[in-house]
Amino acid sequence: MARTQSRTSGAEHAFTHYRACNLCEAICGIEIKLEDGRISSIRGDKLDPFSRGHICAKAVALKDIHEDTDRVRKPLRRRGSEFEEIGWDEAFDEAANRLRSVRDRHGAGSLGVYLGNPNVHNWGAMLYGPLLIKALRPGNRFSATSVDQLPHHLSAYLMFGHQLLLPVPDVDRTDFMLVIGANPVVSNGSLMTAPDIRQRLKDLQARGGRLIVVDPRRTETARIADQHMFIRPGTDALLLAALVHTIFDEELARPDRLAAFTEGLDQLPGVLRRFAPEKVAGALGMDGQQIRALARDFATARSAVAYGRMGVSVQEFGGLCQWLVNVMNIVTGNFDRLGGAMFTKPAVDLMKFQGRGSYDRFRSSVRGLPEFGGELPAATMAEEMLADRGGRIRGMLTVAGNPVLSTPNGRQLDRALAGLDSMVSIDFYVNETTRHAHVILPPTAALEHDHYDVVFNLLAIRNVARYSAALFEPGLDTRHDWEIALELSRRLQDGPLWRRLKATLARWQMMSLGPTGLLKQALKRGPYAQTVDYPSLTAAEHGLDLGPLEPCLPERLATRDQRINLAPEPMIRDLARLRSRMEPGQTDISTGELLLISRRQPRSNNSWMHNCERLVKGKNRCTLLIHPDDADRLGLAQSQNALLKSRVGETVAPIEITEEIMPGVVCLPHGWGHDREGVQMKVASQHPGTSINDLTDHESVDPLSGNAALSAVPVTVRPLHEPRPKRAPGTTSESFGAKTSREHSLAETR
């Protein structure tokens, strides 16, 4: 699909460009100044009605990504361990031939596709990716969903009838916010698009509200909270069950208007009767009366909302956790009401174009893990490639993903990818995953194409819309991701004549419309069709404020009877498994076994951001957080390298001693591990860090949803060198690095 007209970088003078940053979920408005065709500054857009001038360090790095000399700009073909540049036609031919030959020889079951997190940040990939997958017809589909938010989608599907009916906290109007296993001050809200969330939480407190955080680490969010409670990793479902039990036991349930269209209210007290706070407190590392007090405070607040995110999703009871978060909001009447958990009304309603979802229609062949939405859990991806049988995966297409660093047991996946017959990647970096590809097709970067947030407006805490025009015109020899998807799907299409003709017509229509044409159509079908169209959207360079969230139930429910299903059978069945975890957990002091959790960092979102010097410079942030008592017991000193071992692997990380992690728990950040051979990211390779997913276990999953259990991983920790002296009696933990740790953590947030 060659371009026929000249591409230039625009007028060579100073001007200002407004758009949204699409590097994370916050979609902050930004102001970019150009001088002589180059970016001179990136600041927050003070006139953006949603982000109000707020940005984080990642937005400034948009300049670095655009100018990165390591970014792949022409197609690459691998010859042995080296890559060579080739033309687009040759690259499309080879990519299609490689994938098609695997399918022809071994069947559709021998092909797999993995979609990475950046796909949902890119409207071209979201709108045109399904066309490519339909043409490829892979027997195995995977995505970052099952190492992240799959439990949210499962709960939404079973309770509300659609995988995208995801409630978000009405942060700006709530009086009580309970945050469990989430760190929105760093993430800017995850599955809760909330730019400048730190200020919004402070505003909550300023109007007399309370912020309570439950987490094994005293996170950046916990530091500004009214109360922080430590909890043993992996036991959040027990806490949530105890909270709901208390609400019923003490007759605090007030579903109010929700009762008229909710099924299962009468069933819950019985199925949760065994989860009294006093019975589960030992397993949690908490006090039973503390749990009861929290339940009372939540249920009696004028308005309240419970919010759980990564920490409660990526564990062995992720499905139950997200179900119980919803249950807690519903039974207290804090659902579909101001200040509670609410649904958005986006200008482009993705629910009208995305299927309701599906669950457990088929299972993975090796371990029998359940399908959701046509995808299998990423935790089974490597074993489906390594299986010693005829139906194993032999060819893969990866799109904007780095699963070697982001899925469990990354070393195993590394080996599996190296043994594939064919691999094609759509990506603009040669990273830990794409270095295995036989062909790499690089799309344009964020500032080179238009953008509209079709996903994150669906999750925003306020109804907004913003169109971002491209800042730079791409060169003649480049392709947008949607153009790559269209051309590759054309070359992969086969089957009966009628199928090929139908696919050709669909491609022609989508090619003629482009993402902009599809957006125009979607706006006409949206809830603001009378007031928001394409001209008015593009004319609002600072974005459109469409108003606060509004009650919308039961009309917006997608269940067949338009009622909330409060007690889905799969959730109720899984409570029996949860009951087996009610005994107090113990770490094995003799072996040094601890529970490993992850953390997100302000300067990091996806692994390719580590190739931006401004985001990785300074003190090493890929450190292992450990409590002073554990460090003392194991003979570990501040900044000393330690050896970590799990069931599946081992790695080395420097120690950071801090009282902000609870005893018995250690913590590594996500996304590092750039020490593999063949990675062509110079800055990242100079700051490799260590990958937490060299320790996470591919066999550890939430069997209900199939989501990977990346949290509460049992590990042993040992010093690499001579153990340091025991702490002298009366010596404070400050002597062993707690003060340094706090100062370092605070510096990251400035």
Q: Where are the domains of the chain?
A: 15-67, 76-147+350-515, 170-336+561-578, 593-749
121 neighbors 291 (Cβ within 8 angstroms): no
Which is higher by pLDDT, 42 or 10?
Answer: 42
Q: Count of alpha carbons within 13 Å of 617, Cβ hemisphere only?
A: 5
Q: With a cut of 50, say whether residue 9 has pLDDT above it.
A: no
Handedness of CA 218, 223, 225, 226 (dihedral sign): positive
Edge-first strand order for the sheet with 29-35 is 15-20, 29-35, 38-44
Handedness of CA 274, 276, 277, 279 (dihedral sign): negative
pLDDT at 591: 55
Closest to 516 (Cα-Cα) out of 123, 228, 227? 123
pLDDT at 509: 78
**pTM for the whole structure:** 0.93
What are residue 747's phi and psi, to 5 degrees?
A: -65, -30
**Average pLDDT across the chain, whole number:** 91
Six token digits for residue 116: 């990475």
- Split at pLDDT 50, 70, 90, the class of 353 is confident
Which burial class, exposed, middle or buried, applies to 553 when counting CB atoms under 10 A from its CB (0-12, 13-18, 19+)? buried
580 neighbors 703 (Cβ within 8 angstroms): no
pLDDT at 608: 79
Q: With a cut of 90, say whether residue 530 has pLDDT above it.
A: yes
Which is higher by pLDDT, 583 or 716?
Answer: 716
pLDDT at 592: 62
Contacts of 609 (CB under 8 A, 6+ apart): 23, 58, 61, 65, 603, 615, 671
Spatial distance between the Cα atoms of 177 and 351, rounded to a whole number of angstroms: 27
pLDDT at 415: 97
Average pLDDT over residues 321-326: 98
Q: With a cut of 70, say whether residue 680 has pLDDT above it.
A: yes
SS3 714: strand
pLDDT at 128: 93
CATH 1.10.10.10 fits 593-749, yes or no: no
Q: Which helix (H) or strand (E) holds 179?
A: strand 176-180
**Which residues make beta-bridge pairs with 375?**
372
Contacts of 628 (CB under 8 A, 6+ apart): 657, 658, 659, 727, 733, 736, 737, 738
Q: With a cut of 80, say whether residue 388 has pLDDT above it.
A: yes
In order of 47, 178, 213, 291, 491, the CA distances from 226 in angstroms are: 31, 11, 8, 16, 58
pLDDT at 728: 40
Q: With a cut of 70, say whether residue 491 has pLDDT above it.
A: yes
Q: With a cut of 70, say whether residue 731 has pLDDT above it.
A: no
SS3 673: coil
Exposure b/e, 624-657, CB count within 10 A at least 16 = b: bbbbbbbbbebbbbbebebebbbebbebebbbbb
Average pLDDT over residues 457-465: 97
Q: With a cut of 70, say whether residue 511 has pLDDT above it.
A: yes
pLDDT at 2: 38
Superfamily of segment(s) 170-336+561-578: Dimethylsulfoxide Reductase, domain 2 (3.40.228.10)
Q: With a cut of 90, say whether residue 741 has pLDDT above it.
A: no
* Across 13-27, 39-53, 399-413, 621-635, least confident range: 13-27
- Split at pLDDT 50, 70, 90, the class of 505 is confident
183 neighbors 189 (Cβ within 8 angstroms): no
- Split at pLDDT 50, 70, 90, the class of 506 is confident
Spatial distance between the Cα atoms of 349 and 335, rounded to a whole number of angstroms: 20
CA–CA–CA angle 499, 503, 505 (5° rounding): 120
Considering the domain 15-67, what is its CATH architecture?
Answer: 2-Layer Sandwich (3.30)
Six token digits for residue 159: 């309770």
Residue type, 90: E
Average pLDDT over residues 532-556: 97
Contacts of 576 (CB under 8 A, 6+ apart): none
- Please write the tens of the pLDDT for every residue from 176-189: 999 999 999 999 88
SS3 502: helix
Average pLDDT over residues 123-139: 93
Closest to 276 (Cα-Cα) out of 263, 252, 292? 292
pLDDT at 604: 85
Spatial distance between the Cα atoms of 289 and 308, rounded to a whole number of angstroms: 22
Cis amide linkage into residue 554, ω under 30° from 0: yes
Q: With a cut of 70, say whether residue 118 has pLDDT above it.
A: yes
pLDDT at 602: 86
136 neighbors 96 (Cβ within 8 angstroms): no
What are residue 435's phi and psi, to 5 degrees?
A: -60, -15
Considering the domain 76-147+350-515, what is its CATH architecture?
Answer: 3-Layer(aba) Sandwich (3.40)
pLDDT at 582: 79
pLDDT at 749: 28
211 neighbors 201 (Cβ within 8 angstroms): yes
pLDDT at 507: 77
- Split at pLDDT 50, 70, 90, the class of 734 is very low
pLDDT at 262: 98
- Please write the tens of the pLDDT for every residue from 275-290: 999 999 999 999 999 9
- The gap between the terminal CA atoms of the chain, to the nearest Å, is 46
Q: With a cut of 50, say whether residue 669 has pLDDT above it.
A: yes
Residue type, 504: T
Spatial distance between the Cα atoms of 30 and 541, rounded to a whole number of angstroms: 10
What share of the chain has pLDDT > 90, as a percent?
A: 85
SS3 346: coil
- Cα 663 to chain center, whole Å? 27
Six token digits for residue 345: 């009304």
